[in-house]
A and B are shown apart, each in its own frame.
Chain A
Amino acid sequence: MMSETKGIMRISWGPQHPMSGQFRFILETDGENVYEIIPDFGFTHRGIEKILEYRTFVQGIVPFERLAMVDAANVGLAYVRAIEDAANIEVPKRAQYIRTILCEISRINSHLYAIGLAAEAAGGYPAIFLWTTADRELFLDLAEMLTGARWSYSFFIPGGVRADIPEGFKEKALKVLSYFEKRLIAYRDSWLENEIWLTRSKGIGKLSTEDAIKLGAAGPSLRGSGVELDMRKEDKYEAYGEIDFRMAVQKEGDCQARFMVRFLEMIESTRIIKQALENMPPGPFKKPVPPKLPKGEGFARVETARGEMDVHVILDGSDKPYRVKVCAPSFRNLYVISKLPKLTKILVADVPVVVWSFDPWYLDADR
């Protein structure tokens, strides 16, 4: 398959591939340099926005979180907050803290997954890949204790959460977090400062600050290029306004900076969980909400692990939403990836590392 220019071929970094996820990138390359990356959308489109019009509000949380299952809590939170914004429902304080804890557990899960697969993308680096898988198990067990499922929580409903914190959760969570902090030291020593990893990821895929803002990057891609924007600090939703944590920002804008941002965010997540568990207020964990909600429009922004997700909901007085529109962070990051070969030099062997440093979740992008 040769295109018009002599010597440039189109390689399909395709859906059936060990390292691309379920997505097809078309690379225009001459064997080493990549001249264009064209994302080919639509492989995993399921029409979730249309499905939601035929589900009631409580039923709708289940398909919605399948948008990005690895990070299900943050994504499910966006929908629920949009409905609460449309119907002016006030959530009790205890529910806000429980939501925060589950969101941060979900964020740690998602970042560990991204790190493991990025290490695998850089060359079959089995140690980090399997360590992250093993450490995720502990957090999945924690989430199972709280919600009843390991990945597909379906735990947030308009008005609060579905159940309260069970007995023994706090002690187990503190034990897991102290073990995890020791593991983070092992990750830093053997992965972040690994000489060969640094040659694979430092200075590669550089995205300057102006380009990050202009092209619309989201999440750790944005914060890895020096822009200080985090929805948790902007909107101060749920309990984030009362918890003290730092925003993880790096200035360089290359792959290593993005991974550092994820690493630092994991450290901050452990601190958030500890503070939320300490300061848990007493009270009810949900508020009764009528099945039919009055007419209105609602909007919510949530900082998922991959970036900012916006949900716009229009209610028409019945028990199902009239229209739900989702703006996904991975879609924006894929646009940035497609513009990247024009900005910096990328070789074919860099493509996996660069793509995984932006960490797009393709089901998010295709919806």
Chain B
Amino acid sequence: MAELPIPIPLPLPDWIIEFIALNWETLLKIAIIPGLAFILLFELIAVWFERKFLADAMLRIGPLYCGRVAGWLQLIADALKLTIKEVFAPKGAHKLLFYAVPIVAPTIPALAVVLIPFGPDWILFRASGAGLLLFFALTSLIPVTTILAGWGSNNKYTIIGALRSAYLYIAAEMPLFIAAAGVVILAGTFDLVKIVELQSKMWFAIPQFIGFIVFFIAMLGASERVPFDIPVAEQELVLGWRTEYTGIAFGLLMTIEYACLLAWSLLFITLYLGGYQGPPILGPGTASGIFWMLVKLGIVVAVAIFLRVVFPRYRIDQALRLGWRYLIPLALLNIFLTLAMKPYLLAMLQ
């Protein structure tokens, strides 16, 4: 029988203890990084950051009293407040869809996070070399949930919001695929770990400059951040497809936005910014992979969140025009350039 690293003094049956002993590394990864604790902590910190840092830009103080230091307990207080409120569905709503969406929808981007490597061996699911494909497959389920939520709420505002969300997601996802295709052509593989290994000399941001910018803008569109938060918090359609949700269901829906941002930012870092490796100048082995991932994640998420206070929102047709008319041709141009200059680029990366 395998031995546990730490003895657990609980009267569990033998087969559970053997299961934990054989897989304790994976279970740790599922629980902490890049699993449950990481995602929840990220959301906590991201929302705190958004409220405090953006408040500074607006010349005011964000949360202050809740949690002595800088209001860091504010989000937990808000979540607790939401749990004790009543959750009900409007008359005529499709109860199964209505209640299923807040539970299912935040888990989809969280599921996509398991495919990202946090270190040479620190990856939860390697997917036998098709990590990128599986990531895109998982994240395309997100608009399905929003449409079901909007339709299941039996309200004309939510239907309009859900349809706008669908349009926007299609227009944002196409440039993402095509820009990622540029990286795949350069790297020659779909495997995320191998893509990171190939960036040890130079990050892909430099040879794939156009794809870098296209991916960043489309990433904001896919996670419905400003300036693309059109389906949500519309000035005339109360809250889009989230209108009829109350209580903890509403709280769970708020986490979708940040979970999406987390998933896309991690993919962005993996594809273009070198993943878990440090900058090429410093050489390998300066600090662990997780440290670099967290640093890069912090910078990318900070830049993306700060956009909220700088720009107003696009109209839906302007956002679609941006996606179809500008981002997709730019991404295609990126592919052509990559194909044309592939030998030189590969030489640069050696």
Contacts and interface: CB of A to CB of B under 8 A. Distances in A.
A/B contact in complex, CB under 8 angstroms: yes
Interface of A: 9, 11, 13, 17-19, 31-32, 119, 121-127, 130-131, 134, 190, 194, 196-197, 199-200, 347-352
B83 interface: no
Contacts of B229: 123
A123 B312 contact: yes
A256 to B, nearest CB: 13
Given A121-B235, A122-B313, 14 more contacts: A123-B235, A123-B313, A124-B235, A125-B312, A125-B313, A127-B57, A127-B309, A130-B58, A130-B59, A130-B60, A347-B315, A347-B317, A349-B235, A352-B236
Contacts of A124: 226, 233, 235, 312-313
28 contacts: A11-B236, A13-B236, A18-B235, A121-B235, A123-B226, A123-B314, A124-B226, A124-B233, A124-B312, A126-B54, A126-B58, A127-B58, A130-B58, A130-B60, A194-B312, A196-B227, A196-B314, A197-B312, A199-B314, A200-B312, A200-B315, A347-B315, A347-B317, A348-B236, A349-B236, A349-B315, A352-B235, A352-B236
Interface in B46-75: 54, 57-60
B344 interface: no
B310 interface: yes
Contact of A9 (B54, B156, B236): B156
A31 B233 CA distance: 17
A1 to B, nearest CB: 9
Interface string B23-54: 00000000000000000000000000000001
A127 B56 CA distance: 10
Interface of B: 54, 57-60, 156, 160, 226-227, 229-230, 233-236, 308-318
Contacts of A200: 312-315, 318
B227 A349 contact: no
Contacts of A121: 235
A119 B58 contact: no
A182 B234 CA distance: 32
Given A124-B235, A348-B236, A349-B316, A134 B310 contact: no
A127 B311 CA distance: 9
Nearest to B233: A124
Contact of B318 (A130, A199, A348): A199
Most buried by A among B54, B57, B60, B236: B236
Contacts of A134: 59
A123 B235 CA distance: 7
Nearest first, the 9 closest Cβ-Cβ pairs linking A and B are A123-B313, A123-B312, A122-B312, A130-B58, A125-B312, A349-B315, A196-B311, A19-B235, A127-B309
B188 to A, nearest CB: 37
Contacts of B313: 122-125, 196, 200
Nearest to A351: B236
A194 B311 contact: yes
A197 B311 CA distance: 7
Nearest to B315: A349
A351 B235 CA distance: 10
Contacts of B226: 123-124
A123 B226 CA distance: 9
A350 B59 contact: no
Contacts of B316: 32, 349
A73 to B, nearest CB: 27
A352 B315 CA distance: 12
Nearest to A134: B59
Contacts of B318: 199-200
A349 B235 CA distance: 8
B59 A131 contact: yes
B238 to A, nearest CB: 9
A347 B310 CA distance: 24
Contacts of A131: 58-59
A127 B226 CA distance: 13
A19 B57 contact: no
Nearest to B234: A349
Contacts of B314: 123, 196, 199-200
A351 B313 CA distance: 14
A126 B309 contact: yes
Nearest to B58: A130
Contact of A125 (B234, B311, B317): B311
A350 B226 CA distance: 17
Nearest to A118: B312
Contacts of B234: 349
Given A347-B315, A349-B316, A351-B236, A123 B310 contact: no
Contacts of A349: 230, 234-236, 315-316
A19 B236 contact: yes
Contacts of B312: 119, 122-125, 194, 196-197, 200
A1 B284 CA distance: 66
A199 B58 CA distance: 23
Contact of B160 (A17, A31, A123, A199): A31
A127 B310 CA distance: 7
Nearest to B54: A126
B221 to A, nearest CB: 13
B231 to A, nearest CB: 12
A197 B227 CA distance: 10
Contacts of A125: 311-313
A349 B318 CA distance: 11
A132 to B, nearest CB: 11
Contacts of B58: 126-127, 130-131
A200 B317 CA distance: 11
A199 B57 CA distance: 23
A123 B227 contact: yes
A19 B229 CA distance: 17
B237 to A, nearest CB: 8
Contacts of B160: 31
A50 B15 CA distance: 88
Contacts of A32: 316-317
Most buried by A among B59, B234, B312, B313: B312
A199 to B, nearest CB: 6
Nearest to B311: A196
Nearest to B60: A130
A121 B234 CA distance: 9
B205 to A, nearest CB: 23
A123 B311 CA distance: 8
